[in-house]
Structure 1
Amino acid sequence: MIPAIFLMGPTASGKTELAVRLADALPIDIISVDSLLAYRHFDIGSAKPSLALRRQYPHALVDIREPDEPYSAGLFREDALRCIVLARERGRIPLLVGGTGLYFRALERGIDALPPANPALRQSLMALAEEAGWSALHQRLATLDPETAAGIAPHDRQRIQRALEIILGSGQAISGARHWQGTFPGPLYKIILRPPRGWLHQRIMQRFDVMLNEGFLDEIADLSTRHYAPELPAMRAVGYRQYFAWHDGLCSSAEAYQAALAATRQLAKRQDTWFKRESAHYYLDPSRDDASSLLLQMATRPVQGEVHSIGGDNGGEMDETG
């Protein structure tokens, strides 16, 4: 059976560029593993591959939901498994590319269905947050489920709210109730990008400047006219959240810019922490000039389950500088 390839890494680490170069050399179907790219209309600020690029290199699971339509790790797994089957039927290699660690884990291991949203409980939590602040709700989450709270930032309103919904609705901690179940169909190669931190921070800043030059502020204005609920996951995404605050007059453009950069760096750090806990066949430093050729070696080399580091003694692990 044709092996699937996971290409995982933090935001701005060059995943798309490496994926399309690999697609130039191998018969590959690219499948997006990104919780934000699934939503339509969130294009520039999400660094979504352009329409022109996607015409040349189709990306499955991009623009498959409206921002107010629910999407989850479980739904992603169902969609991705269908894409993998179709790719293999055509004799092509499924290449799963992205930075949403939970989606990768759900795809590889399976995931229990979580209870549906409870509108009444959600409204109650929103009212409590208005009164006491989200940090207070995060403290409550830490009391009820310390393990889950440890993986959620105190300012991450959407994830705090959803975690408390599940815990209060089910009466049990998420960390104790969630069970990974199922197996991945067929062989799988896992490749994790481990960029140097200073290099990645520079890429984040450069990419954000490009976004602004390409019309990110116009995209913010357009999305504001669509009147999506502010608590929707896409509306709370890094970069968008900070510039919606600017659009609403809550901060200056300079403050929004610095806040967006800081939030993106924090996101990259959280992603890197997640991927450090993942097993992998290969680690790759994407800052190397020969990263594309090294990736091709990884994608075509038989693996026996052992971990390899190609392109650096530490596999490009993010350092503590920069």
Structure 2
Amino acid sequence: MNKVLISVTGPTAIGKTRLGILLANHFNTEIISADSRQFYKEMSIGTAVPTKHELTSAVHHFIQHKSIHEPYSVGDFEKDALKKLDELFQDHEVVIMVGGSGLYVDAITKGLDAFPKVGKSIRENLNKQLTNDGIEILQNMLSTLDPEHYNRIDIHNPHRLIRALEICIGTGRPYSSFLNKPKDKRNFKVLSVGLKADRTVVYERINERVDLMMKEGLLDEVKLLKSTRDLNALQTVGYKELFEYLDGNWTLDFAISEIKKNTRRFAKRQNTWFKKSLETLYVDYNYKENEILAMMDKAVMELQHERT
């Protein structure tokens, strides 16, 4: 087994796209995107989709290939991305994957956990509670039923809360008890490369990115999506806050400050998720290209010759 998937991870705004393109060009290969919000064609500015120049610098897959109106789960992505990888590995020894969505990265590198089926009525009731009573009641329920998972996920994402709660209620067991079970082995090896930087650097880059998004027209993008704001895809930092501004609840300056704050929180959660992987090769965000390429050549060669 000498096929290698290089998985580039790290917090938002740290430069994963740039490194992914550098590696794709070096290995003469293509890129799988594992950013769950960049899947949607209606969401360009707020998800920092690669620029036209970046998209022409290397072939990308799973960028803006879906509409926000099309349900697309992590399970769908796992199936589609593994099929695409099989195709790419016919012609390439190495493929690059870039993404900051930890669950989606893990779906490809490790496989998804299997969950039992539960009655649809549970989800329907939870959605009613969300509509009638607000998200806080769901947060409190999960904190009681599965404190371990409560501390791991974005508790402001209703989709994630409801998914965990329906398993807890339907099975009588914590959602977390179904995680990390043995899964099918992949027919490729994974080289996980994590970009790192001091927290102050990451936060500064996040603030600069949000300011740039506003200059590029994020507010206009959000205005066009206001009528579909309840869709799961739009429960996303950068969109939720500007909906509050458009509703007249917040000033624009406050909404922007909330985007920056919530993006910083998201970056912190990303770091926590990716640090679980003990095999990750960490690289400073301010790397020298010749040094990192030599490092990648060596790491790929070692993986390819490693006994399984």
State TM-score, norm by structure 1.
0.85
What corresponds to 2:80 in structure 1? 79
Number of matched pairs: 300
Determine the structure 2 residue equivalent to 1:183: 185
Structure 1 residue 266, shift from structure 2 partner: 0.2
Percent of aligned pairs with the same amino acid: 33
The residue aligned with 2:306 is: none
Return the match for 2:208 from 206, 209, 226. 206
- Does the CA contact (< 8 Å) of 2:33 and 2:62 recur in 1? yes
Q: 1:249 to 1:100 in 2, by over 3 A?
A: same
Query: What is the Cα deviation at residue 73 of structure 1?
Result: 2.2
Please list, as runs of the form range in 1=range in 2, the aligned pairs for 1:121-200 lying within 5 A after superposition.
Answer: 121-178=122-179, 179-200=181-202
Matched with 1:302 is 299
**C-alpha displacement of 1:68:** 2.6
Q: Secondary structure at the match of 1:211?
A: helix
Partner of 1:228: 228
Paired residue secondary structure (1:301): helix
Give me the whole-angstrom Cα distance separating, in 2, the residues matched to 1:34 and 1:56: 18
Q: Are 1:74 and 1:112, in contact at CA under 8 Å, matched by a contact in 2?
A: no
Which residue does 1:310 correspond to in 2?
Answer: none
Equivalent-residue separation in structure 2 for 1:164 and 1:48 (angstroms): 32
CA distance in 1 between partners of 2:89 and 2:157 (Å): 38
- Which stretch shows the higher mean deviation, 149-158 or 270-279? 149-158
Does structure 1 retain, via aligned residues, the 8 Å contact 2:115–2:178?
A: no
- Taking only aligned residues, the RMSD between alpha carbons, in angstroms, comes to 2.2
State the alpha-carbon separation in 2 of the partners of residues 123 and 265 from structure 1: 32
Q: Quick check: 1:122–1:161 contact (8 Å CA) kept in 2?
A: yes
SS of 1:10 mapped into structure 2:
coil
Judge conservation of contact 1:61–1:79 (CA < 8 Å) in 2: no
Residues in 2 aligned to 1:119 and 1:263: alpha-carbon distance in whole angstroms: 32
The residue aligned with 1:264 is 263
Distance in 1 between the 2:64 and 2:258 partners? Answer: 27
Q: CA deviation at 1:192?
A: 1.0
Deviations 1:154-194 (A, max 9, x none): 43333212221232234432111243511122222111112
Map 1:101-140 to 2 at 5 A.
101-114=102-115, 120-140=121-141
Q: Secondary structure at the match of 2:148?
A: helix
Q: Say if 1:101 and 1:248 are closer, same or farther in 2 by CA, change over 3 A.
A: same
Q: CA deviation at 1:229?
A: 5.0
Instruction: Tell me which amino acid in the other structure corresponds to 1:181.
Output: K
What are the Cα deviations for residues 32-91 of structure 1, in whole angstroms up to 9, with x where unaligned?
011111122110000011234313322101122221322222222212212222222123
In structure 1, C-alpha distance between the alignment counterparts of 2:243 and 2:120, rounded to whole Å = 24
3-state DSSP of counterpart to 1:45: coil
- The letter of the residue matching 1:164 is L
Paired amino acid for 2:187: P
Determine the structure 2 residue equivalent to 1:36.
Answer: 37
CA displacement, residues 176-219 of structure 1 (integer Å, 9 cap, x when unaligned): 12435111222221111121111111111111111111111111
Query: Which AA in structure 2 matches 1:145?
Result: D
Counterparts of 2:100 and 2:10 in 1: how far apart (Å)?
5
Alignment check: 8 A CA contact 2:25 2:58 kept: no
Residue ranges of structure 2 left out of the alignment (5+ in a row): 304-308
Partner of 1:319: none
CA 1:91–1:127 in structure 2 vs 1: closer, same or farther (change >3 Å)?
A: closer
Q: Which moved more, 1:131-140 or 1:59-68?
A: 131-140
Mapped pair 1:275 → 2:277: no
What is the aligned partner in structure 2 of residue 318 from structure 1? none
Alpha-carbon spacing, 1:106–1:271, altered in 2? closer, same or farther (3 Å): same
Are the counterparts in 2 of residues 101 and 274 from structure 1 also a CA contact under 8 Å?
yes
Structure 1 residue 120 displacement after superposition? 4.4
Quote the Cα distance in structure 2 between the aligned partners of 1:102 and 1:294. 30
Distance 1:118 1:208, change over 3 A: farther
Instruction: Please state whether the residue corresponding to 1:28 is helix, strand or coil.
Output: coil
Structure 1 gaps, min length 5:
306-322
TM-score by length of 2: 0.89
Identify if the C-alpha distance between structure 1 residues 212 and 146 changes in structure 2 by more than 3 Å, giving closer, same or farther: same
Correspondence list, 1:279-298, <5 A: 279-286=278-285, 288-290=286-288, 292-298=289-295
Kept in 1, the 8 Å contact 2:118–2:170? The answer is no
